[in-house]
Amino acid sequence: MSAGANSGLSVQLVSFADDGALVINRPALNDLVASAPLDERLVVVGMCGPARTGKSLLLSFLAGHLTGQHDPAFMFGWGRQAVTLGVWGMRTLLPVALRDGSKARLLILDSQGLFDSQLSEARTMRIFALTLLCSTVLIQNLSKQVQEDNLQSAAMYSSFAKLVRSQTDAPRLGFHTLFFAVRDWQFDDDDDVDDDDAYLAQILRPKGDADLDGTREALASTFDHMHAALLCHPGRTRSRTAPTHYRR
């Protein structure tokens, strides 16, 4: 299957109306909800981050790993144009086992790139807040290293999501785990970085500066857990073919 083609394994759950309002695909969402066993937990993994940074490819890899399917679950492309619009979800909930051995169902959500040239600041905030509030684990995709602006934007959008949540009757929605997926990781001269979470802990350590520490405190008080995964570039050939070849 070529990049940009829809394999049918995922469905658009949220789109934008012309006036910028979010339009929810209720029939598809109802089908997903109806298929969730009542005695199993539902885990939602959502993805967000800048446009054209391999979000859909990574999620397709994750879905392929869990289902054994070779067709990419989420449309991805190698041109400049964004391929993912709004929010897409897998058509089916995937059976998974949690660390404590209990059975759960996994929903994977892919979202349009933040700051892509088609999304205004207001639309970017809405996509981020919606994905965050729906996710048990929100993956923040970024390139090369976690930088201050990545932390600042995560903190800023999260505070908007908190405001949205305060207007719902679901006070426990979202903010469980923020997971930084660092793509094209290329530093191998730092012994502390053997453990990906140790790398993140270094970044999140207080710096003795009110601004920098304010951002860190905002994130720490917002999310129950924060983790990181440092991922190598998949290789030019590999990123142009079926997403089954990540090294880490």
Ligand X SMILES: Nc1nc2c(ncn2[C@@H]2O[C@H](COP(=O)(O)OP(=O)(O)O)[C@@H](O)[C@H]2O)c(=O)[nH]1
Which listed option, Mg ion, ligand X, none, makes contact with residue 77 (CB within 5 to 8 Å by class)?
ligand X
Strands (DSSP E) contained in 17-161 are 22-24, 41-48, 87-90, 94-97, 103-111, 137-143
Query: Measured from the CB of residue 162, what is the shortest distance to Mg ion in angstroms?
Result: 26
Q: Which phi-psi region, left, alpha or beta, contains residue 31 (left: φ > 0; alpha: ψ -120 to 50)?
A: alpha
- Between 53 and 152, CB nearer to Mg ion: 53
Query: Measured from the CB of residue 246, what is the shortest distance to ligand X in angstroms?
Result: 8
In the 8-state DSSP scheme, what is residue 192? G
Binding-site residue total for ligand X (CB under 6 A)?
A: 20
Contacting Mg ion within 25-64 (CB under 5 A): 55-56
* Segment interacting with Mg ion (CB under 5 A) among 27-35, 40-48, 84-92, 136-144: 84-92
Contacting Mg ion within 194-223 (CB under 5 A): none
Give yes or no for residue 76 binding ligand X (CB under 6 A): yes
- Between 184 and 197, CB nearer to ligand X: 184
Other residues' Cβ atoms within 10 Å of the Cβ of residue 217: 13
Give yes or no for residue 115 binding ligand X (CB under 6 A): no
The structure tokens listed for 237 are: 């050939």
* Helix or strand run (H / E) with residue 10: strand 10-16
- Between 51 and 155, CB nearer to ligand X: 51
Contact 196, 229 (CB under 8 A): yes
Contact 59, 73 (CB under 8 A): yes
- From candidates 22, 82, 156, 229, binder to ligand X by CB under 6 A: 82
Rounded to 5 degrees, φ, ψ at 244 are -125, 15
* Helix or strand run (H / E) with residue 212: helix 210-222
Give yes or no for residue 158 binding Mg ion (CB under 5 A): no
Report the interface residues with ligand X, using CB under 6 A: 51-57, 76-78, 82-84, 113, 183-184, 233-234, 239-240
Query: Footprint of Mg ion on this chain (CB under 5 A)?
Result: 55-56, 84
